[in-house]
Amino acid sequence: MNLGRENHPELREAVAALCKQFDSAYWQQVDEKRAYPEKFVDALTQAGWMSALIPEEYGGSGLSLTEATVIMEEVTRSGGNAGCCHGQMYNMNTLLRHGSSSQKKHYLPKIASGELRLQAMGVTEPTAGTDTTRIKTVAVRKGDRYVVNGQKVWTSRLQHSELMILLARTTPLDQVAKKSDGMSVFLVDTKSKGIEVKPIRNMVNHETNQVFIDNLEIPAENLIGEEGRGFRYILDGLNAERILIAAECIGDGYWFTDKSVKYSSERIVFDRPIAQNQGVQFPIAESYMEIEAANLMRYKAAALFDKKASCGAEANMAKHLCAKAAWEAANVCLQTHGGFGFAAEYDVERKFRETRLYLVAPISTNLILSYLAEHVLGLPRSF
């Protein structure tokens, strides 16, 4: 079906044509082997879709965020997993927005061509959790370099990245006026001495890792922007990340809806298609309605971002509503498939696992609700 495909039809067709080459058997094999979908990511990069948000002057496609979201939506809608590569699209934002002109000239064209992959971002730490200001990874300036020690967790795609955006504290927490001050962002060569990577076996195939950092030396010229302002730079890039992930969830939501409609129309039990039972139809209709509604917020957030208007609330609402709608559609799809929903060959259980992530990462539901309560509704600060 072609539900929800009204916008940017030509772009959609081009991305969908590429995705079609990577069918259900391809993704099942990657998932089963817990492998990285190298061929798919290479094809997406070579076609220029991964550099959508890099301006043309640096060799990228210079598309709007709205168009970039369409690319990611088509990936998940085709049955693929955009989580394997979305970092390459948005991590460079920190560099683009806050890097020096020589950093941008040096790195962005290589990131655009795929020669350098900037797919990893090390922010989360095991003891700090969502309270990023409590990170314990420390960078100390020593002459023309910084020496970094600490630990990160859930650093995704590090094995498939030449570069990583790393957040570390450069001024101790008890010496800053505001707890969000005193952290800095660095561009790190992932093959440097002092980085030990331990993959975490987990529910989704994201190749995510524990990272142990022991006397890692980073040239001072790899500091992005000003020392001490790194947390702001990271926050700055998050709206794009949230909106892109919202669109991935929309792609998932339509994929589940298509699957539910098709299977329920074909599956005969009690001598009639199960879809003929309203107990089967109604949840599909309801979850479809929720996807449609969430999709409006996704486009609103993306349009505000493209106008360079403030969009923190809309980006958060889009991510939350789209993740919830996709999850509901996933649940309905599994239920519609009955026992067959659990069989890997139907792809439903894989997509079910993949879409569940987005209620937790990159930011969990409660933190979005608390942002809205405090910053939009003016309710008392909780933490």
> Interface residues with ligand FAD (CB under 6 A)?
121-124, 129-130, 154-156, 202, 204, 206, 208, 357, 360-364, 366-367, 370, 383
In the bound state with ligand FAD, the residue whose beta carbon lies nearer, of 216 and 332, is: 216
Residue 19 CB, nearest distance to ligand FAD (Å)?
A: 22
CB-based contact 349:342 (threshold 8 Å): yes
Residue nearest to ligand FAD (CB): 129
Is 8 or 206 the residue whose CB approaches ligand FAD more closely? 206
Minimum CB separation of residue 141 from ligand FAD in Å reads: 23
Measured from the CB atom, is 80 or 283 closer to ligand FAD? 80
**Least distance between ligand FAD and beta carbon 367 (Å):** 5
In the bound state with ligand FAD, the residue whose beta carbon lies nearer, of 118 and 123, is 123
Distance CA 382, CA 132 (A): 16
If the CB atoms of residues 281 and 364 are measured against ligand FAD, the closer one turns out to be 364
Q: Cα 360 vs. chain centroid, distance in angstroms?
A: 11
Rounded to a whole number of angstroms, the minimum distance from the CB of residue 124 to ligand FAD is 3
8 or 160: CB nearest ligand FAD: 160
Q: Give least dist CB 171 to ligand FAD, A.
A: 21
Our CB check for ligand FAD shows the closer of 61 and 93 to be: 93
Residue 241 appears among annotated catalytic residues:
yes
Integer angstrom CA distances of residue 168 from 127, 165, 217, 309: 14, 10, 13, 29
CA-to-CA separations, 114 to 20, 94, 327, 382, in angstroms, rounded: 22, 17, 32, 43
Q: How far is the CB of 190 from ligand FAD (least distance, A)?
A: 13
Minimum distance of ligand FAD from residue 152's CB (angstroms): 7
Q: Which of the residues 73, 125, 207, 241 is marked catalytic? A: 241
Please list the active-site residues.
241
